[in-house]
Amino acid sequence: MAAIEMKNIVKKYGDGFPAVNDVSIDIADGEFVILVGPSGCGKSTLLRMIVGLEDITSGELIIGGTKVNDLAPRERNLAMVFQNYALYPHLSVYENIAFPLRLAKASDEEVDQKVREASKTLELDEHLERKPGNLSGGQRQRVAMGRAIVRDAQAFLFDEPLSNLDAKLRGQMRTEIARLQKRLGITTVYVTHDQTEAMTLGDRVAVLKRGVLQQLATPRELYEQPVNLFVAGFIGSPPMNFLPATVDGTSVEMPFGTVEIPQEKADLVADHAGKTLIAGIRPEYFDDASVLDDAKLSSGSTFRATVEFTEWLGSEAFAYLPFEAPEAVQKQLEQLEKDLDGESLRTQIVVSLDAASTVAAGDEAEIWVDTAHLHIFDPETGDNLT
Ligand code: ATP
């Protein structure tokens, strides 16, 4: 096991735009770090540089205290688990797991001991004679991990391992990978474009946009304190609501009326008074005011709005409140939508409704908003000012 340090890593293919641009990430021994971002953000390139399948244009890569920039993949002793698992269909589970040991010319005794140990950990011991074709997707994934385990690799690297699976199996495998990683305590780097996978698996998550690291933080920090519009829009489902906002002291004027924000937030945006900014509030910080108790109501502001339609999903329900945005904000949201790879950010507020709410399409409802959880973004830089 080993720590992985990336220092100012750059990757240029030919003389084009850098696919990875000055990325520095320190991964602790045993830590589970996710590289996430939309298609083309450079996450696979970064992983391929760690494993040694791609040259590093500049910067330093240190694994277990040793600079490995110029070491061949084999010499880095890392175990890569690919999307398609790369299993040999004609070999049994036993021989698939044993493969790296056979390559290293280990004795039959050592092979047997290591394969049996790994298969026990992975609960594959009853399937050792089967061929990969007769296994479930989840079992195949475990065989691929078994092959990594017997090598005593310094770290596990995963490149979108679950993207070929259906939603149910993906959920199961996610839990399984998280459980195994914790049990084995092996340093793990995992690439995905799926923010749910990133949020549920990682000790920390690195969000990338066009080759540049935007934020490296725990899932909770990313959710609660995104550094910019891009991270705020990428993390969370349904996504954060973005509204045009003008600040005057502690008053914030938004499409449905003016709300009051806490003084400490007002201080942070005082320099931007009078400008059109972008407020960001997650759906759960809005609600139908008519069903809330006084304590909750007094913790925020309320405004009236017409409900366009509602959506009931059993465990949760949403109300949609459309609004018009000024052109500058509209433009910024369209750009953000492109950056997020088509994630739809319509000019509407999505309200996560309390289970007791009965608001329906066409209702003029009183809506509560928790202004302590309001973020304010600079539309020019995208930075979170609060
Ligand atoms: P995806 O989720 O679509 O795989 P990604 O975030 O993993 O995307 P990369 O595959 O790392 O992104 O690609 C990053 C950028 O580098 C993209 O613009 C891509 O077109 C470019 N790129 C990747 N591989 C090469 C290559 N071999 N030659 C030239 N450009 C490349």
What secondary structure does DSSP assign to 113-129, as a single string? HHHHHHHHHTT-GGGTT
Domain with CATH 3.40.50.300 in the chain: 4-229
Distance of CA 54 to the CA centre of its chain: 24
What gap in Å lies between CA 250 and CA 266, rounded to an integer?
Answer: 5
Which atom belonging to ligand 1 lies closest to the Cα atom of 20?
14
pLDDT reported for residue 343: 63
What gap in Å lies between CA 168 and CA 179, rounded to an integer?
Answer: 17
pLDDT reported for residue 268: 94
Q: Of 219, 160, 157, 224, which Cα lies nearest the Cα of 194?
A: 160
Q: Whose Cα sits closest to atom 29 in ligand 1?
A: 13
pLDDT along the chain (386 residues), means of 10: 95 91 97 95 96 96 96 90 79 94 92 92 90 86 85 88 77 84 91 92 96 97 96 92 93 90 92 92 96 91 93 93 85 85 76 95 95 92 94
SS3 243: strand
| Long-range own/partner contacts, residues 325-333 (CB < 8 A, 24 or more apart) | 325/243, 325/244, 325/255, 326/244, 326/276, 328/276, 328/379, 329/242, 329/244, 329/276, 329/278, 329/379, 332/229, 332/278, 332/379, 332/382, 333/242, 333/278
pTM: 0.90
pLDDT reported for residue 96: 94
Alpha helices in the chain (DSSP H): 43-51, 73-76, 93-103, 108-121, 137-150, 167-184, 195-201, 219-224, 229-234, 263-269, 294-298, 327-339
Q: Of 255, 257, 286, 275, which Cα lies nearest the Cα of 371?
A: 286
Tell me if 42 CB under 6 Å of ligand 1: yes
* Cis amide leading into 238 (omega within 30): yes
N residues, the chain: 386
Tokens of 181: 């990683």
Q: Whose Cα sits closest to atom 25 in ligand 1?
A: 13
Say yes or no: ipTM exceeds 0.95. Answer: yes
Tell me if 43 CB under 6 Å of ligand 1: yes
**Which residue type occupies 302?**
T
pLDDT reported for residue 86: 78
Those residues with Cβ within 8 angstroms of residue 89's Cβ, 6 or more apart along the chain or in another chain: 131, 132, 133
The domain covering 4-229 belongs, at the CATH homologous superfamily level, to P-loop containing nucleotide triphosphate hydrolases (3.40.50.300)
Tell me if 36 CB under 6 Å of ligand 1: no
pLDDT reported for residue 327: 83
Query: Residue 3's CB: how many other CB atoms inside 10 A?
Result: 17
